[in-house]
Amino acid sequence: MRLENKVALITGASSGIGAATALLFAQEGARIVVVDINDQAGQAIVQEIKEGGGEAVFFHADVSKAADCENMIRYAEAQYGALHILFNNAGIMHGDDGDAMSTSEAIFDLTYAINVKGVFFGCKYGIPALARAGGGSIINTASFVAHLGAATPQLAYTASKGAVLSMSRELAVIHARENIRVNALSPGPLRTELLMSFLDTDEKKQRRLVHVPMGRFGEAKEMAQAVLFLASDESSYMTGSEFLVDGGITAAYVTPE
């Protein structure tokens, strides 16, 4: 198993990429700390892992709050004795996030609090834990929109993911000699509740999908496979990098309808 004897903490783990990754990591031998604000859904993931023969615990945390992030790291070490993998995945894409004129300051601040400060707090408290374990892997969820303007305006989200990408690079450089690797996962458009609720009409979905050369939305399970590579020793010489798993959207100039 690729993650045998590893402890992994995953934020936003009750649904989407986080849930798929938690289930896959458990199958690969990791002990999982499932972190989310949705207690019921988070506990359901823990139960599913246990029913599959894996080991997992749930911790309630709002990643926009420093104390919650500090406590989730402490909990992971208290439960399992160490932390080797940190997947800062929690994020939002608010329905009221639009262009510069229509997006309110409150929505912009909320998006940054979760998508950017959540990654910052995770790393702030998680990096010392990984150092105590002798090193490890951090994966931060960015997005293809860190490279491309979104066809459907989502300014705060797009800006937040650019921040995650640049923050990941700098953290990787700072901590490379400590055997701590930091990489970013940049998914393309996915068929997850997060995006589907934002693209809430067929017109919006098609406006996004027409740009994807593969002609379909990605699946959370496909992203989980990419995260597994970044978490495992198979990517041992990879840090400060971005893993674009986007159906070809960032490679395309124009795509026929």
Q: How confident is the model at residue 257 (pLDDT cuts 50, 70, 90)?
A: low
Can you give the pLDDT at residue 216? 86
Residue 219, Cβ density class (10 Å: 0-12 exposed, 13-18 middle, ≥19 buried): middle
Domain ranges within the chain, ordered by starting residue: 7-188+221-243
The answer to whether 157 is a known catalytic residue is: yes
Question: Could you tell me where the DSSP H helices lie in 59-214?
Answer: 66-80, 105-115, 117-132, 155-175, 193-198, 202-209
What residues form DSSP beta bridges with 218?
190
* Residue range 209-227: mean pLDDT, rounded: 90
Q: How confident is the model at residue 81 (pLDDT cuts 50, 70, 90)?
A: very high
Question: Can you give the pTM of this predicted structure?
Answer: 0.94
On average, the pLDDT of the chain sits at 94
How many whole angstroms separate alpha carbon 150 and alpha carbon 212? Answer: 12
Q: 7-188+221-243 domain in CATH 2.40.50.140?
A: no
Tens digit of pLDDT for each residue in 44-65?
A: 999 999 999 999 999 999 999 9
Can you give the pLDDT at residue 196? 65
Instruction: Indicate the angle between helix axes 105-115 and 117-132, nearest 10 degrees.
Output: 10
Which phi-psi region, left, alpha or beta, contains residue 185 (left: φ > 0; alpha: ψ -120 to 50)? Answer: beta
Tokens 């399970």 sit at which residue? 221
Residue 33, Cβ density class (10 Å: 0-12 exposed, 13-18 middle, ≥19 buried): buried
Residue 101, Cβ density class (10 Å: 0-12 exposed, 13-18 middle, ≥19 buried): exposed
Tens digit of pLDDT for each residue in 114-168?
A: 999 999 999 999 999 999 999 999 999 999 999 998 778 899 999 999 999 999 9
User: Does 256 score more than 60 pLDDT?
Assistant: no
Which residue is catalytic, options 112, 157, 237, 253? 157
* Residue range 231-239: mean pLDDT, rounded: 98
Tens digit of pLDDT for each residue in 154-199?
A: 999 999 999 999 999 999 999 999 999 999 999 998 877 766 676 7
Rounded to 5 degrees, what are φ and ψ at 184? -115, 140
User: Does 255 score more than 60 pLDDT?
Assistant: no
6 is written with which tokens? 């590893």
Can you give the pLDDT at residue 200? 65
Can you give the pLDDT at residue 190? 84
Tens digit of pLDDT for each residue in 93-114?
A: 998 999 999 999 999 999 999 9
